A and B are shown apart, each in its own frame.
Chain A
Amino acid sequence: MTVPATAPGPRPGVLADGTNAWGRRYLMCPPTHFGVLYEINPWMHTEVTVDRDRAQAQWEGLVATLRAAGAEVVVVDHDPSVPDMVFTANAGIVNGDQFVPSHFRFPERQPETDIFSDWFARQGFTVDRLPTELDHEGAGDALPFGGLLLSGYRFRSDLPATTALSRLTGVAVRAVELVDPRLYHIDITFCPLDERRAICAPAGWDRYGRKVVDALVPEPLWLEDDEALTFCANSVVIGRTVVMPTTPARVGRQLEAWGFDVVTCEVGEFLKAGGGVRCLTLSLDVDLRR
């Protein structure tokens, strides 16, 4: 039942040098129709105006940063009916040539399921659907680490969906209950850095979830509560480069001490909707079976 914590050789999702094997090819959606038009998390306030030009510039800055770090960026057109489509992390789960589309909790985002399913099918992915009655918000609530998926549940995803996800992907899942509505997805509380390390925001998890992560991650970078609320865990990692929406000084120092290059990328317009760098990207190169 238990996956050995120190399996010999690189584990699935990790290269021989210990860096993540995934995170070098991203799906992104330009903020053509982005705005805070409804409120489905504590960060969203409809009275706040999004500066669309500024959002576009920040998004292009992120694309350039990712490409400069060696990543490939694939772009999907923004459907005007779904402003949050910019947050492609919530499109679904990629596992090799398999795509499991999200089932969104809130009606405002539910049309994204078909939009992304069609897109992935056109790209040649096999699209496998979760049972319709179960919600799961994709890579926003499930990130690979240690050869398995760490999945959050409560605010946006249902726990039984993780079982279905495991069946569909053939990958083991550890489920962590999220307890702070401000940290409503696992990707605001957890960022896999490499084979042994991850940024971890225990403020977002119940005591069982903390134990699960503690047992899973050999070298966690524990965030203080105020650090977690800066969205600094909502970052992406390309090899040894960490691209972050904000970088608390202590966090940056620790990452650099571990040998990472830290790049802070301004995405303030998107933080108005409760999304950072990770939320704006979906790794297309995750394959947990090899």
Chain B
Amino acid sequence: MTAVETFEVEGHIVDSLILAKILDLILDSGADYRMVQVDIGKTAIDPSRAVVEVTAPDDEVMVRLAEMLQVQGANPLTTGDAVLERADQDGVLPAGFYSTTNLDTEVLVGGRWLRAENPEMDCGLVVLDDDGGSEGAPARVRTLPMHRVRAGDRIVVGAQGVRVIAGNLPRGLSSFEFMDSEVSSEKPKALLLRNLADRLRAARDAGAKVLFVGGPAVIHTGGGPEVARLVRDGWIDVVFAGNGFATHDIESNILGTSLGVSITTGAGTEGGHSNHLRVINEVRRHGSIAAAVAAGFIPGGVMYECVRAGVPFLLGGSVRDDGPLPDTMTDVVAAADRMRDLVDGVAVALMGATTLHAIATGNILPASVETFCIDINHAVVTKLADRGSHQAHGIVTDVGPFLGALADELGAGRS
């Protein structure tokens, strides 16, 4: 059982090499550390201050190390319980609420560190009883999106008694680290492909879920059938997309076009500009995608395979949607909540050719979910990282052929 303790040291610790000594002592003892904070004094007289989080293999090592560190002036940082404040109205966090990251987070309540459930960025933290209510002995902490706050919820305010565990960023079964230097098109695609396939196999072996997030360009570039066979063969467990992805997937399977352009010849078709509208119209007549599949109106494709395999999908709506399809959720807050429910158990996320859905999904994913962003435009990966999803790996390539090669690598059968 690993032991974690945070130490604080203050003084002329840089010039006197005290900090270097402390870090050496930690490593020599078999423990590891993370620098939480270093404030270097501006002048020779100003003291410097460092806060170091130490992770020891067990309590015994930690106790011995703590004694050694004390001689070097480093003492355990005494932290009080997290400060809790009751929300005074629905949908509003108390002012000064602790705003979460997507990293694993622990909260000190009643002298015990509780791991926050459902790590998600940009949320509050609510302390719950074991039964999920807000009264009595605290037993659980979870992230809480602002709109889900109910008056009386006990919300963590300020940073006291809150610590972020940064050690859960996904690290190498087969190494992707080599490609993390920067997002670039100049990477060996075959190698990336094999590594990605290994990750998907590892996820499947571990019983973890794989999430696919796709934009309409997946369909436009001929990737629809590839995603469809990944779904059919059980490589994808959850699909997030928008109205356009589903529409063009259905359109291409019924009319052979995507936004009126032939998938096979690349040529425009007579009246093709309205193809997707007619398809949406007919699906609306059936009442749902599932009903349209059941009626035989939709003969194949990603949505078809999802319905057939019972793979849950979520179509998030937007203002510019045509139709929309009856399954498209136009209440974005409800859609995000549904996405939160569906990401439970997801270990790997593949995001193909979509900026908006990738960012929306990145916002609700814990940092522990390995995220691969496949896009011809490297800016999408950069954007994702800029919005806090630092765990995202970028694969800059044409999504359609890449997904085909991925499906081949995984041995997914063609229909």
Q: Does A171 interact with chain B (Cβ within 8 Å)?
A: yes
Q: Does B11 interact with chain A (Cβ within 8 Å)?
A: yes
Given A159-B73, A160-B73, residue A1 in contact with residue B16 (CB < 8 A): no
Q: Does B191 interact with chain A (Cβ within 8 Å)?
A: no
Of A159, A172, A212, the residue contacting B72 (CB under 8 A) is A159
Most chain B C-beta atoms within 10 Å of own C-beta, residue among A2, A148, A163, A211: A163
A6 to chain B, nearest CB (A): 15
Q: Does A257 interact with chain B (Cβ within 8 Å)?
A: no
Q: Does B20 interact with chain A (Cβ within 8 Å)?
A: yes
- Complex Cα gap A160–B44 (Å): 16
Most chain A C-beta atoms within 10 Å of own C-beta, residue among B11, B16, B40, B42: B16
Given A148-B44, A159-B72, A172-B44, residue A1 in contact with residue B17 (CB < 8 A): no
A175→B12 contact, CB < 8 A? yes
- Complex Cα gap A154–B46 (Å): 23
Interfacial chain B residues near A163, Cβ < 8 Å: 10-12, 47, 73
Q: Does B83 interact with chain A (Cβ within 8 Å)?
A: no
Of B14, B18, B46, B48, the residue contacting A159 (CB under 8 A) is B18
Q: Does B15 interact with chain A (Cβ within 8 Å)?
A: yes
B11→A208 contact, CB < 8 A? no
How many residues of chain A get a CB closer than 8 Å to chain B's CBs?
25
B14→A175 contact, CB < 8 A? no
B45→A171 contact, CB < 8 A? yes
A166→B15 contact, CB < 8 A? no
Given A167-B47, A208-B20, A211-B17, residue A162 in contact with residue B11 (CB < 8 A): yes
Q: Does A170 interact with chain B (Cβ within 8 Å)?
A: yes
Q: Does B43 interact with chain A (Cβ within 8 Å)?
A: yes
- Complex Cα gap A173–B47 (Å): 9
A-B contact number at CB 8 A: 67
Interfacial chain A residues near B45, Cβ < 8 Å: 166, 170-172
A237 to chain B, nearest CB (A): 24
Restricting to B51-100, which residues have a CB under 8 Å from any CB of A?
71-73
- Complex Cα gap A269–B21 (Å): 38
Q: Does A105 interact with chain B (Cβ within 8 Å)?
A: no
A1→B72 contact, CB < 8 A? no
Q: Does B41 interact with chain A (Cβ within 8 Å)?
A: yes
- Complex Cα gap A173–B18 (Å): 12
Given A174-B15, A208-B21, residue A1 in contact with residue B42 (CB < 8 A): yes
Q: Does A68 interact with chain B (Cβ within 8 Å)?
A: no
Q: Does A3 interact with chain B (Cβ within 8 Å)?
A: yes
- Complex Cα gap A211–B15 (Å): 10
Tell me the interface secondary structure of chain A in the complex.
mixed
How many residues of chain B get a CB closer than 8 Å to chain A's CBs?
22
A166→B17 contact, CB < 8 A? no
B12→A208 contact, CB < 8 A? no
Q: Residue on A with the closest CB to B71?
A: A154
Of A1, A162, A206, the residue contacting B43 (CB under 8 A) is A1
- Complex Cα gap A1–B44 (Å): 4
A158→B41 contact, CB < 8 A? no
A1→B15 contact, CB < 8 A? yes
A208→B71 contact, CB < 8 A? no
B12→A173 contact, CB < 8 A? yes
Q: Residue on B with the closest CB to A163?
A: B11
Q: Residue on A with the closest CB to B20?
A: A208
Interfacial chain B residues near A277, Cβ < 8 Å: none
B11→A172 contact, CB < 8 A? no
A174→B20 contact, CB < 8 A? no
Q: Residue on B with the closest CB to A174?
A: B16
Most chain A C-beta atoms within 10 Å of own C-beta, residue among B20, B41, B43, B72: B72
- Complex Cα gap A154–B6 (Å): 23
Of A2, A175, A176, A177, the residue contacting B11 (CB under 8 A) is A175
Interfacial chain A residues near B48, Cβ < 8 Å: 1
Restricting to B19-33, which residues have a CB under 8 Å from any CB of A?
20-21
- Complex Cα gap A158–B47 (Å): 16
Interfacial chain B residues near A159, Cβ < 8 Å: 11, 18, 71-73
B298 to chain A, nearest CB (A): 69
A2→B44 contact, CB < 8 A? yes
- Complex Cα gap A264–B205 (Å): 81
- 14 example contacts (A-B, Cβ-Cβ < 8 A) are as follows A154-B71, A163-B47, A166-B11, A172-B15, A172-B44, A172-B45, A173-B11, A173-B16, A174-B12, A175-B11, A175-B16, A176-B16, A208-B20, A212-B16
- 8 nearest A-B residue pairs (beta carbon): A163-B11, A159-B73, A172-B44, A208-B17, A175-B16, A160-B73, A3-B44, A208-B21
Interface residues in chain B, defined as those with a beta carbon under 8 Å from any beta carbon in chain A: 10-12, 14-18, 20-21, 40-48, 71-73
Interface residues in chain A, defined as those with a beta carbon under 8 Å from any beta carbon in chain B: 1-3, 148, 154, 158-160, 162-163, 166-167, 170-177, 206, 208-209, 211-212
Given A177-B71, A211-B17, 15 extra CB contacts under 8 A: A1-B41, A1-B43, A1-B44, A159-B72, A163-B10, A163-B11, A163-B47, A163-B73, A170-B45, A172-B12, A172-B44, A174-B12, A176-B16, A177-B21, A208-B18
